[in-house]
Each structure stands twice: as C-alpha cells, then as structure tokens.
C-alpha cells in the first residue's frame, strides 16, 4: 500500500485500520480468533497504521481492544505504527447505548494510562498517543507538557489530539509539536475542513475517523437495516433512520454513479475523495469483515483528478443530506 507522512516524520499506510468496532460500539465484542485473523490479513495487505484506545471495550472489559491488538500484532511490532488514546472513560451509570464521556487529562491519569496501554499492547513505546478528548478542566499546555515528558522518556514517539480545534491546537503545539489531529471527517461531516489551513501551516497530519459516516457511505444499508439497541451505536444514529435513508437517496445515487465511472465501490470513492484533498490526510475506516478490509485498502490506488474532486465538492454543497452522528456527549 502507498504511504503518507503525518507531521514531520511519522510514515503510515495511506489507509489505516480503525480497530474500535472490533470491541466497541458496533454490537457485542467480536470473536477474538476472527479479529486476530483479520488483523494479520491487514498486515499482509500493507496496512501499517493501527488505531485503538484504552477505552475501546465493554463494561465487563473496558480494555478489550488494546488487549486484542497487543496479542495479535506483537510479532509485527517493528513493521507497524501503533496509535492509542487516553483521557476519557464512559459514564457507566447511563442507560443510553451511546454513553456520555467523562474527560480526565490530569497528569497522573495520563502517566498511569500510558503504562497500562503499553502493557496491554505488549510494547515498550507507542508511535502515536492521543488525548482522546480535550479536558476543559486542564490547561492544554499542561497536557502537552506531560506528552513532552513521555516522549523524552521514550514511552511515546509522537502525540496528537482527537477532536481538536484551532485554539487548542496552537497552544498545544507551542509546548510540544503535535504530529496529528484525529477528527471526524466524511462526505457528510466536513466541519473540520476549516482547520486545514492551520494544519498546513503547522505541518500537522489529519487522521480522519468515521470516514464512511459510520458505514452509511458504503451504500450497503437501507431502511430495513437493523441494529442492536443495547450495544450498537447505529441504532441511535440520525443517518440510519427511515427518513434519513429517504433524504440521502440522491447522495447515495451520486456515489454509486461515480463508483461505476471509476470501476470502484462507493466506499472507495469516499476514501479516494478524502485522500485527494490533501497529502497529509489519512482515513482510518474500521471493519470486522475481510472483504471490506480489502476494499478499503485498495481505495488508496484510486486516482481522482482535481476536477473530479471539485465536482464532488460542488455536489456535496447542494445535495440533500440527513443529520449525521456527531459523537458522544462529553460531560463537563
């Protein structure tokens, strides 16, 4: 697979693998043997960028995902880039399927978290370590200072912020250079395009999570699709309601037409569009399926012309769209 550079020098596969869904938010945690085989197939297919977090798990095992990756990827550790995150936990008192987030970026919490993640991931360092959400109770300069300490100690080589805004990013970067932001980005959620000039200026990479709008842009779902109300966030997402499918018909039809023109799948067009935007954007779609893993990875080989990208942007500016999931509520 082709590669890209995040920040100054972090080389990753052009398409990364978001691993959250193997353990969290998309139904009960998947079978460990099947997911291990999927992860090994990803390595064979040229994926080098694997994304997890200490909070990706279940109520019974909050760290399920890191444990899965640690065991499966240990033999390939010197060939891959491992990214994880700290700074949040879920409010387990909530009865919602999409439980609110509680932030905690105190220095002592971050230091305890990195040690726990290193142990579960069976490694002595992380290639990229994010603050999972900005903790408004802790100055971002303090957080950046802790990351600087971890880098000096060799426990982390690069750091980033998930769901970062310009002000926070500039303040953090001034203390310890940020390698990447990981923000929501897809054809249906383009808010952070406003951040692109800042990222260009500061030489910070953009890691796009939910690049397929939680799977809607694969064009594989319809109004009859069902999701488990207790374990699957999609059961509560606005883009998966019956009315939303009706509203998104034109968008999906356009995607399919563009895919036919390029001899590709709709999901590949969505990812290729993103890759064509900037050379420092790296999407990290997640999957539990072998076929989707291959399809997503091959999106890196699809070439879109500047005019095709502009045409798609013009379409996205005017085509009707439903609301789209914007993330879990953060408790202040």
Over residues 68-111, the pLDDT tens digits come to: 999 999 999 999 999 999 999 999 999 999 999 999 999 999 99
Q: How far is CA 4 from CA 47, 99, 125, 206, in A?
A: 12, 34, 21, 11
Write the pLDDT tens digit of every residue in 240-251. Answer: 999 999 999 999
Rounded distance between C-alpha atoms, residue 304 and residue 168, angstroms = 33
Rounded distance between C-alpha atoms, residue 159 and residue 7, angstroms = 10
Average pLDDT over residues 135-139: 96
Residue 202 pLDDT: 98
Percent of the chain with pLDDT over 70: 100
Q: Is the pLDDT of residue 56 over 80?
A: yes
Average pLDDT over residues 103-130: 98
Write the pLDDT tens digit of every residue in 253-282. Answer: 999 999 999 999 999 999 999 999 999 999
Q: Which residues of 194-206 are buried (b: 16+ CB within 10 A; e: fewer)?
A: ebeebbeebebbb
Residue 72 pLDDT: 98
Q: Is the pLDDT of residue 20 over 70?
A: yes
| Average pLDDT for the chain | 97
Rounded distance between C-alpha atoms, residue 219 and residue 238, angstroms = 16
Average pLDDT over residues 52-62: 94
Percent of the chain with pLDDT over 90: 99
Q: Catalytic site residues? A: 56
Residue 201 pLDDT: 98
Q: How far is CA 167 from CA 129, 141, 162, in A?
A: 20, 11, 14
Confidence bin at 331 (pLDDT 50/70/90): confident
Rounded distance between C-alpha atoms, residue 126 and residue 104, angstroms = 20
- Kind plus residue range of the DSSP H or E element containing 286: none
Nearest to 270 by CA among 248, 243, 238: 248
Nearest to 267 by CA among 232, 302, 243: 302
Residue 332 pLDDT: 66
**What is the C-alpha radius of gyration for the chain, rounded to an integer number of angstroms?**
19
Residue 277 has φ and ψ, to the nearest 5°, of: -65, -50
Identify the burial level of 2 via C-beta atoms within 10 angstroms of its C-beta, where 0-12 means exposed, 13-18 middle and 19 or more buried. exposed
- Kind plus residue range of the DSSP H or E element containing 59: none
Dihedral angle of Cα 156, 158, 162, 163, to the nearest 10 degrees: 150
Rounded distance between C-alpha atoms, residue 22 and residue 58, angstroms = 11
- Please calculate the CA angle 113-54-93 and round it to the nearest 5 degrees: 100
């Amino acid at each position: 697979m082709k590669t890209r550079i995040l920040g100054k020098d972090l080389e990753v596969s052009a398409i990364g693998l978001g691993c959250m869904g193997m353990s969290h938010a998309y139904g009960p945690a998947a079978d460990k043997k099947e997911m291990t085989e999927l992860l090994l197939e990803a390595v064979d297919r040229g994926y080098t960028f694997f994304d997890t977090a200490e909070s990706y798990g279940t109520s019974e095992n909050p760290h399920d995902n890191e444990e899965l990756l640690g065991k499966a990827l240990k033999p390939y550790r010197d060939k891959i880039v491992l990214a994880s995150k700290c700074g949040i936990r879920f409010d387990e008192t909530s009865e919602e399927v999409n439980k609110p987030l509680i932030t905690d970026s105190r220095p002592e919490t971050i230091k305890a978290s990195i040690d726990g993640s290193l142990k579960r991931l069976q490694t002595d360092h992380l290639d990229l370590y994010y603050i999972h959400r900005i903790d408004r109770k802790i100055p971002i300069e303090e957080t950046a200072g802790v990351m600087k300490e971890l880098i000096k100690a060799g426990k982390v080589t690069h750091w980033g912020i998930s769901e970062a805004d310009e002000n926070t990013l500039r303040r953090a970067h001034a203390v310890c250079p940020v390698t990447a932001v990981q923000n929501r980005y897809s054809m249906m959620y383009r808010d952070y395009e406003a951040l692109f000039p800042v990222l260009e200026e500061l030489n910070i990479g953009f890691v796009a999570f939910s690049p397929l709008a939680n799977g809607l842009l694969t064009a594989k779902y319809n109004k009859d699709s069902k999701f488990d109300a207790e374990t699957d966030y999609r059961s509560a997402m606005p883009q998966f309601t019956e009315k939303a499918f009706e509203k998104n018909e034109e968008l999906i039809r356009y995607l399919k037409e563009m895919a036919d023109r390029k001899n590709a799948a709709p999901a590949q067009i969505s990812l290729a569009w993103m890759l064509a935007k900037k050379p420092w954007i790296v999407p990290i779609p997640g999957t539990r399926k072998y076929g989707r893993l291959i399809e997503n990875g091959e999106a890196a080989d699809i070439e879109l012309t500047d005019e095709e990208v502009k045409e798609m942007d013009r379409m996205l500016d005017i085509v009707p769209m439903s609301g789209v999931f914007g993330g879990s509520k953060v408790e202040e």
